[in-house]
Chain A
């Protein structure tokens, strides 16, 4: 506990130093790590802890991104952006601060999660996965067609560059604190009981539907938050498959599988690794020199590496980095003790 209290300010100090010392490219990546962390932790709450398998995360992220973008863009910018059709009335004349826009984004995404979770959670296993995937595609298709709200295929551009390291990591802290305290409360134990054996949990008097719906809505809330941050990090939003479609869900899935499905620490590590690797692997897509041969970079190579890695992890190493265990100071100490004894 004390160590955690020491660790938090030191992480903050490190972040501050990184802001001061590193250039803006690196600080953008550090921000991205925070955003990916929120996405991964919120999906872990649903897929790892509560034992339903959702493939609809990108839908909630998109809802959050659109909501907050529509709230933070200035009326003049909206006037300029909405070329196909004018934005509908209440949205075209308001502009609110980023913090409140993010909160509202989270709430709207949570409402969507409730509306989607209510019918879908009557299904189990892979049917639920497909239903949530279907809903996230529906959200994307509506975003593509509702010209007077989302600007259709043109998307929203020139979002104010609000997201910085502090917003991303601050929200990450909030997310982790919420999910952790939830996961180790009686509510979280009930969720894990459902994950291990649904029928037995039901027999013990756990209301499976209510618990899973709560977890799903909370996951949707934080997905919306991350969407708001992500949108303001990207500074453009559009409803293509590659940005807010199934590919985004897949990326978050890689993070949590890499980190270990069911571990919150693992999700953060997975998110950080994914952000780091996807920047580092950029060299694959640029021209390079191998043994004197000049090879033109091939675009799309990074995704190939990631998806290959993903399949290999699933086949040979399904526990991922952390398995289902969490980071704890005692665990760290015992690791060092074992080292020391040898």
Chain B
């Protein structure tokens, strides 16, 4: 021990060393895909609002947090069954998104973009402080709220061995049930979203508003209602994402929305902000790379939140319009 070289401050202590066997990679891929679909669900809300209002809705991550609290309290206080609580919580999140738009963003529609951004930051902190006051700042557990079976492991392959007097399965590909459920729910939500945007009248109005607000309002579309609907739809998706997130990472506290919200925003920028397919693509790529990075370098796990921001900065400095976005042209 005495001869050990002093650790450099920047060295990542590799706990398990570099692991690159194909089974682990596949397992990480599935988990990354599921995490990525959560980012995608949240990112859609950012990208839709940005596409219409050119506003970064900072409060989006906090609506995500609120949805989780709603679900928690519908189960614990109102004694509702978990599936009903989840549906109601998503509905409440949609209503909350709509209300936030009406109260805070509607009065400043024509203000400069920077004041809109500052207001959005203010709204975000308002929701966080509201959650601290109403739900208290102490973290709560989400573990017993939803059925335990959601967190069990699916194991494919592997052999039975007796270790420590118990039969355990060694090797194989393992991932929690919730990863699979997340993927399925996200896929259903995305299909619904696609149908809503491209096959309904409100969806058509949304697409029109995102192209040109003034012309659309001249065509007899109630622009404010369409924008409100956009907020509601985005918030509902964030609510779905939030509940799935809380099942996966069962710690609920008022600032839980900040990091997922920021990462989803990174995903939206990465995919090209304003583009819904871009947000999905960006979310998936971000989720997979993040899980893969941690899987390959376990010592760097503490930096996983910084990783998303690194991606953001690299994307912004190389191609700010993202993968599928349109470049913004400054007109004089």
Contact = CB atoms under 8 A, between A and B. Distances in A.
A88 B9 contact: yes
B306 A137 contact: yes
Given A131-B313, A134-B309, A246-B258, A304 B130 contact: yes
Interface stretch (A68-76, A121-129, A211-219): A121-129
A149 B114 contact: no
Contacts of B126: 304, 307-308, 310-311
B309 A311 contact: no
Contact of A131 (B117, B303, B316): B316
Contact of A310 (B122, B265, B302, B313): B122
Contact of B313 (A120, A200, A308, A314): A120
Nearest to B123: A311
B237 interface: no
A299 B132 contact: yes
B141 interface: no
Contacts of A137: 262, 305-306, 309
B205 interface: no
A315 B126 CA distance: 14
Contacts, number: 126
B312 A131 contact: yes
Contacts of B118: 53, 253, 257, 314
Nearest to B266: A134
A103 interface: no
Interface string A116-152: 0001101101110111011101100110111011000
Nearest to B117: A126
Contacts of B302: 141, 144-145
Q: Which of A88, A130, A299 has the most CB of B within 10 A?
A: A130
Nearest to A300: B132
A209 to B, nearest CB: 13
A295 interface: no
A318 B111 contact: yes
A311 B119 CA distance: 6
B132 A314 contact: no
Contacts of B104: 311, 315
B316 A123 contact: yes
A304 B9 CA distance: 39
Contacts of A303: 125, 128-129, 132
Contacts of B313: 119-120, 131, 134-135
A250 interface: yes
Given A149-B9, A300-B129, A127 B320 contact: yes
Given A141-B306, A314-B119, A301 B133 contact: yes
A85 interface: yes
A12 interface: no
A308 B123 CA distance: 8
Nearest to A249: B121
B117 A53 contact: yes
A304 B133 contact: yes
A148 B9 CA distance: 6
A253 B113 contact: no
Interface in A227-265: 241, 246-247, 250, 253, 257
Contacts of A306: 125, 129
29 contacts: A123-B316, A123-B317, A125-B114, A126-B114, A127-B316, A130-B56, A130-B312, A131-B312, A131-B316, A138-B306, A138-B309, A199-B332, A246-B258, A299-B136, A300-B129, A301-B133, A303-B125, A303-B129, A304-B130, A304-B132, A304-B133, A307-B122, A307-B125, A310-B126, A311-B126, A314-B108, A314-B115, A315-B107, A318-B108
Interface of B: 6-7, 9-10, 56, 104, 107-108, 111, 113-115, 117-119, 121-123, 125-126, 128-130, 132-133, 136-137, 255, 258, 262, 265-266, 269, 302-303, 305-306, 309-310, 312-313, 316-317, 320, 330, 332
Given A135-B309, A250-B121, 13 more contacts: A88-B6, A122-B317, A129-B117, A130-B265, A130-B269, A134-B266, A137-B309, A146-B9, A246-B258, A299-B137, A301-B133, A311-B123, A315-B107
Closest 7 CB pairs of A and B: A300-B132, A134-B309, A303-B129, A307-B126, A304-B129, A145-B302, A307-B125
